[in-house]
Amino acid sequence: MSGAKKAGPDQTKWRTQTRAVRGGQVRSNFDETSEALFLTSGYAYLSAEEAEATFKGESNHYQYSRFGNPTVSMFENRLAALEGAEACRSTSTGMSAVFFALLALLKAGDRIVAARQLFGSCHYIVTDLLPKYGVHSELVDGGDLAQWEKALSKPTQAVLFESPSNPMLDIVDIRAVCDLAHKAGAKVVLDNAFATPILQRPLEWGADVVVHSATKYIDGQGRTLGGAVLGSREYIIDKLQPIIRNTGPSLSPFNAWVLVKGLETLGLRVERHCANATKVADALAAHKAVGRVLYPGRKDHPQHALAMKQMPNGSGGVVTFDLKGGKDAAFKALNRLTLVDISNNLGDAKSLVTHPATTTHMRIGAEERAKLGITDGTVRISVGLEDVEDIIADLTQALNG
């Protein structure tokens, strides 16, 4: 039998790693130490009056798992604590998080300005999908403040960018772009999937909304799909929540449980990802077959100083490099790998490598890829948690072939 409940701790005083392990935790009457998994679609009411009060919004009773679920709420509250956000709502995937975050800000006749350094599907949303519904879009070079200033010299409702970007690891000056966006009347949506809240908290730099593909580092082991949108309580509750409640991009309670557990080890994993990626980047830079290495932690990265300012605790687990021999050399090297897997996913405990021009960024076309700096020899590696010497040895033998 359970005894009386103790008063809960003051979570606002917790440091990052403690929030990652215990933030948002709610225990059932069984007092379990591991977060409970509530695999239920619906909820029972003690009375018809309670059901009425729930539907009227006068009760906090759970109503339907498309609207809310205890396990999902734990994930949302824990991630909000890590990002320093007032509120969070989860979605079924990272792409649904990006789309619905923008949909909550835009309507026909509005305008969005985005960095062209975007993941392929995000590029499609901005340049193809939103314009079909009357939203005007403009792309700029994310690292060029003059282009941002020009594009934001007229009224704008939303700004979207990634920092670091996928796959070329471009860094955007978050504070400067946010200041320009706010003067234009825009809300800034920043994709923080590559940095995670361990390395970068965009809300502290002026961003209004943060989106995550929780599929990546938050899960960290390639098990589940998930997304999240974070921001002010007014934006999340009044603007975003009505849309996702009524359209249904719901996160599975099981996936939420996996992601809650993933957050517990996020800091430890990201630290190792960064350490391994640093060594891999240096090893690749020294290889004769490699023409260029992009990693924000290296001094030869074009925006190294800005990256260190915005992400002082690490540069992430992704390294991008160009092979001198183009596509043929890239394919040959990828096919010779024996440890590292060919996969378009990233953020996994296992090292994964992909060829962006023929996978993640194939559909944006050669002209747009050229503007992004993606060549036929560009390779992106998500450096995993294996022994780094084994990762380097596999890459080296593949490049030597």
Tokens matching residue 296: 């924000």
Q: What would the mean pLDDT of 114-137 be, rounded to a whole number?
A: 96
Amino acid at 96: S
According to the model, what pLDDT value does residue 11 have?
79
Q: What would the mean pLDDT of 61-81 be, rounded to a whole number?
A: 96
In contact, 342 and 331? CB cutoff 8 Å: no
* Residues linked to residue 389 through DSSP beta bridges, in sequence order: none
Helix axes 326-336, 388-400, angle to 10 degrees: 130
8: confidence class by pLDDT, cuts 50, 70, 90 = low
According to the model, what pLDDT value does residue 13 have?
85
Tell me the C-alpha distance between 25 and 36, whole Å.
9
Instruction: For 215-234, write each residue's pLDDT tens digit.
Output: 999 999 999 999 999 999 99
pLDDT over 80 (residue 66):
yes
According to the model, what pLDDT value does residue 2 have?
46
The more confidently predicted of residues 289 and 8 is 289
According to the model, what pLDDT value does residue 219 have?
98
Instruction: For 197-208, write each residue's pLDDT tens digit.
Output: 999 999 999 999
Q: How much of the chain exceeds pLDDT 90, in percent?
A: 94
pLDDT over 50 (residue 289):
yes
1: confidence class by pLDDT, cuts 50, 70, 90 = very low
Q: What would the mean pLDDT of 132-158 be, rounded to a whole number?
A: 98
124: confidence class by pLDDT, cuts 50, 70, 90 = very high
Residues ≥6 apart with Cβ < 8 Å to 63:
43, 54, 55
Q: What is the CA radius of gyration of the chain?
A: 22
In contact, 354 and 344? CB cutoff 8 Å: yes
CA 381 to chain centre: 17
Amino acid at 395: L
Instruction: For 76-88, write each residue's pLDDT tens digit.
Output: 999 999 999 999 9
7: confidence class by pLDDT, cuts 50, 70, 90 = low
Instruction: For 315-325, write each residue's pLDDT tens digit.
Output: 999 999 999 99
In contact, 243 and 224? CB cutoff 8 Å: no
pLDDT over 60 (residue 4):
no
Closest CA to 75 of 148, 24, 126, 7: 24
Out of 11-15, 140-144, 312-316, which region has the weakest mean confidence (pLDDT)? 11-15
Tell me the C-alpha distance between 339 and 324, whole Å.
23
Q: What would the mean pLDDT of 303-320 be, rounded to a whole number?
A: 98
Which phi and psi (to 5°) does residue 396 adopt?
-65, -45
Q: What would the mean pLDDT of 29-56 be, rounded to a whole number?
A: 95
In contact, 127 and 255? CB cutoff 8 Å: no
Which pTM was predicted?
A: 0.95
Out of 17-26, 110-119, 168-177, which region has the weakest mean confidence (pLDDT)? 17-26
Closest CA to 79 of 224, 192, 161: 192
Burial (CB count within 10 angstroms: exposed 0-12, middle 13-18, buried 19+), residue 74: buried
Which phi and psi (to 5°) does residue 64 adopt?
-165, 140
According to the model, what pLDDT value does residue 379 have?
98
Give the mean pLDDT of the chain.
Answer: 96
